[in-house]
Structure 1
Amino acid sequence: MSVNYISNKNRTLFGVVVSTIILIFASQCSPTDSSSKSLDTLKQAIGDREYYLDRKLNQIDSVRKELQSSTEAVEQFDACRTLYHMYYDLQIDTALEYAEHMRSLSERILKSHPAYLKESLLLTARVYAYTGMYKECAELLEEHFFKKELSEDLKRLYFVAQMELYKGLADQAISERELKAYENIIEASRDSLMAIIPKNSVWYLIHLSNKIKVEGDYNQAMEILYKAYHQLTTEDRDMAHVAFYMSDLYRLKGNVEKERQYLVISSITDVKHAVKEYVSLWKLAEILYNEGNIEVAYKFIEISLQDAIYSGAYRWTQYIIKIMPSIYASYNAKILQQKNTISSAFFVIVCLLGCSVFLSIYIVRQYRKLDRAKGQLSRMNDDLMEMNEELNALSDKLHLTNTELETTNNQLRFVNSELVSTNILKETYLSKFIDLCSDYIDKLDEYRGSLKRLLKGGKLDKIEKELQSTKYIENEHKVFLANFDETFLNLYPNFVSEFNGLFAEEDQQKIKQNELLTTELRVFALIRLGITDSYKIAKFLRCSITTIYTYRSKMKNKSNYPHSFEERIKEYRKHKQWGASTL
Structure 2
Amino acid sequence: MAENYISKKNRTLFSVFISAVILLLTSQCSSRDSSEKSLETLNQVIADREYYLEKKLSQIDSVRKKLHSTTDGVAQFDAYRTLFHMYYDLQIDTALQYAEQMLRLSESVLKSQPTYQTESLLLTARVYAYTGMYKECGELLDKEYFLKEELSEDLKRLYFVTQMELYKGLADQAIIERELKAYDKIIDASRDSLITIIPKNSVWHLIHLSNKIKVEGDYDRAVEVLSKAYNQLTTDDRDMAHVAFYMSDLYRLKGDGVKEKQYLIISSITDVKHAVKEYVSLWKLAEILYNEGNVKTAYQFIEISLQDAMYSGAYRWTQHIIKILPSIYASYNTKILQQKNTISSAFFVIVCLLACSILLSLYIVRQYRKLDRAKGQLSKMNDDLMEMNEELNALSDKLHLANIELETTNSQLLFVNSELVSTNLLKETYLSKFIDLCSDYIDKLDEYRGSLKRLLKGGKLDKIEKELASTKYIDNEHKAFLTNFDETFLNLYPNFVSEFNSLFPQDEQQRIKHNELLTTELRVFALIRLGITDSYKIAKFLRCSITTIYTYRSKMKNKSYYPDSFEDRIKEHRKQAYFSLIKE
Query: TM-score normalised by the shorter chain: which range applies?
Result: 0.7 to 0.9
Deviates more, 1:456-465 or 1:547-556: 456-465
Mapping of 1:497-576 within 5 angstroms? 497-503=498-504, 505=506, 507-538=508-539, 540-541=541-542, 548-549=549-550, 551-556=552-557, 559=560, 561-575=562-576
Give 1:529 shift: 1.7
| Match of residue 69 from structure 1 | 69
* 2:200 matches 1:194: no
For structure 1, the 5+ residue unaligned runs are 1-31
The Cα offsets for residues 490-526 of structure 1, whole Å up to 9 and x where unpaired, read as 4433322332344455554332213222233222212
Higher normalized helix content (fraction of residues) = 2
* 2:160 matches 1:156: no
Q: Secondary structure at the match of 2:142?
A: helix
| Match of residue 99 from structure 1 | 99
Mapping of 1:161-310 within 5 angstroms? 161-310=162-311
For residues 106 and 334 of structure 2, what CA distance do their matches in structure 1 show? 57
For residues 543 and 152 of structure 2, what CA distance do their matches in structure 1 show? 48
Instruction: Identify if the C-alpha distance between structure 1 residues 129 and 473 changes in structure 2 by more than 3 Å, giving closer, same or farther.
Output: farther
Mapping of 1:312-351 within 5 angstroms? 312-351=313-352
TM-score normalised by the chain length of structure 1: 0.79
Instruction: Identify if the C-alpha distance between structure 1 residues 520 and 362 changes in structure 2 by more than 3 Å, giving closer, same or farther.
Output: closer
Instruction: Identify if the C-alpha distance between structure 1 residues 303 and 108 changes in structure 2 by more than 3 Å, giving closer, same or farther.
Output: same
Q: Secondary structure at the match of 1:200?
A: coil
The Cα offsets for residues 369-428 of structure 1, whole Å up to 9 and x where unpaired, read as 9xxxx9996238969998998999899999999999998999899899979977876676
- For the Cα contact (< 8 Å) 1:92–1:127, is it kept in 2? yes
Mapping of 1:441-520 within 5 angstroms? 443=440, 481-503=482-504, 505=506, 507-520=508-521
| Match of residue 135 from structure 1 | 135
Deviates more, 1:479-488 or 1:288-297: 479-488
- For the Cα contact (< 8 Å) 1:494–1:579, is it kept in 2? no
For residues 500 and 255 of structure 1, what CA distance do their matches in structure 2 show? 63
- For the Cα contact (< 8 Å) 1:235–1:269, is it kept in 2? yes
Instruction: Identify if the C-alpha distance between structure 1 residues 446 and 199 changes in structure 2 by more than 3 Å, giving closer, same or farther.
Output: farther
For residues 40 and 441 of structure 1, what CA distance do their matches in structure 2 show? 44
Give 1:40 shift: 0.7
Instruction: Identify if the C-alpha distance between structure 1 residues 358 and 519 changes in structure 2 by more than 3 Å, giving closer, same or farther.
Output: closer
Q: Secondary structure at the match of 2:326?
A: helix
The Cα offsets for residues 205-251 of structure 1, whole Å up to 9 and x where unpaired, read as 11111111112111111111111100000000000011111111112
For residues 156 and 465 of structure 1, what CA distance do their matches in structure 2 show? 51
For residues 275 and 218 of structure 1, what CA distance do their matches in structure 2 show? 28
Q: Secondary structure at the match of 2:192?
A: helix
| Match of residue 47 from structure 1 | 47
Instruction: Identify if the C-alpha distance between structure 1 residues 409 and 564 changes in structure 2 by more than 3 Å, giving closer, same or farther.
Output: closer
| Match of residue 89 from structure 1 | 89
For residues 488 and 503 of structure 1, what CA distance do their matches in structure 2 show? 21
- For the Cα contact (< 8 Å) 1:282–1:304, is it kept in 2? yes
For residues 139 and 375 of structure 1, what CA distance do their matches in structure 2 show? 104
Mapping of 1:7-46 within 5 angstroms? 35-46=35-46
Q: Say what the alpha-carbon RMSD is for the aligned residues.
A: 4.6
Give 1:275 shift: 0.5
Instruction: Identify if the C-alpha distance between structure 1 residues 420 and 210 changes in structure 2 by more than 3 Å, giving closer, same or farther.
Output: same
Instruction: Identify if the C-alpha distance between structure 1 residues 390 and 465 changes in structure 2 by more than 3 Å, giving closer, same or farther.
Output: farther
For residues 209 and 58 of structure 1, what CA distance do their matches in structure 2 show? 36
Number of residue pairs matched by the alignment = 548
For residues 482 and 194 of structure 2, what CA distance do their matches in structure 1 show? 48
The Cα offsets for residues 331-354 of structure 1, whole Å up to 9 and x where unpaired, read as 111111111112222333444556
The Cα offsets for residues 284-318 of structure 1, whole Å up to 9 and x where unpaired, read as 11111111111111111111111111111111111
- For the Cα contact (< 8 Å) 2:277–2:308, is it kept in 1? yes
The Cα offsets for residues 145-173 of structure 1, whole Å up to 9 and x where unpaired, read as 55473222222222121111111111222
Deviates more, 1:486-495 or 1:266-275: 486-495
2:82 partner amino acid:
T
- For the Cα contact (< 8 Å) 1:33–1:293, is it kept in 2? no
| Match of residue 80 from structure 1 | 80
For residues 579 and 361 of structure 1, what CA distance do their matches in structure 2 show? 43
Deviates more, 1:438-447 or 1:205-214: 438-447
- For the Cα contact (< 8 Å) 1:572–1:578, is it kept in 2? no
For residues 577 and 200 of structure 1, what CA distance do their matches in structure 2 show? 61
Instruction: Identify if the C-alpha distance between structure 1 residues 562 and 427 changes in structure 2 by more than 3 Å, giving closer, same or farther.
Output: closer
Instruction: Identify if the C-alpha distance between structure 1 residues 99 and 219 changes in structure 2 by more than 3 Å, giving closer, same or farther.
Output: same
Deviates more, 1:188-197 or 1:231-240: 188-197
Instruction: Identify if the C-alpha distance between structure 1 residues 438 and 572 changes in structure 2 by more than 3 Å, giving closer, same or farther.
Output: closer
1:379 partner amino acid:
G
1:158 partner amino acid:
Y
For residues 159 and 104 of structure 1, what CA distance do their matches in structure 2 show? 24
For residues 542 and 38 of structure 2, what CA distance do their matches in structure 1 show? 51
1:196 partner amino acid:
I
| Match of residue 109 from structure 2 | 109
- For the Cα contact (< 8 Å) 1:84–1:98, is it kept in 2? yes
For residues 153 and 256 of structure 1, what CA distance do their matches in structure 2 show? 37
The Cα offsets for residues 77-118 of structure 1, whole Å up to 9 and x where unpaired, read as 111111111111111111111111111111112443211111
| Match of residue 378 from structure 1 | 375
1:339 partner amino acid:
K
Give 1:136 shift: 1.6
Q: Secondary structure at the match of 1:195?
A: helix
- For the Cα contact (< 8 Å) 1:222–1:249, is it kept in 2? yes
Q: Secondary structure at the match of 1:513?
A: coil
TM-score normalised by the chain length of structure 2: 0.79
For residues 448 and 176 of structure 1, what CA distance do their matches in structure 2 show? 30
- For the Cα contact (< 8 Å) 2:56–2:275, is it kept in 1? yes
- For the Cα contact (< 8 Å) 2:415–2:579, is it kept in 1? no
Deviates more, 1:492-501 or 1:179-188: 492-501
For residues 479 and 438 of structure 1, what CA distance do their matches in structure 2 show? 16
Q: Secondary structure at the match of 1:71?
A: coil
The Cα offsets for residues 441-479 of structure 1, whole Å up to 9 and x where unpaired, read as 765786799799999999967999999998887777655
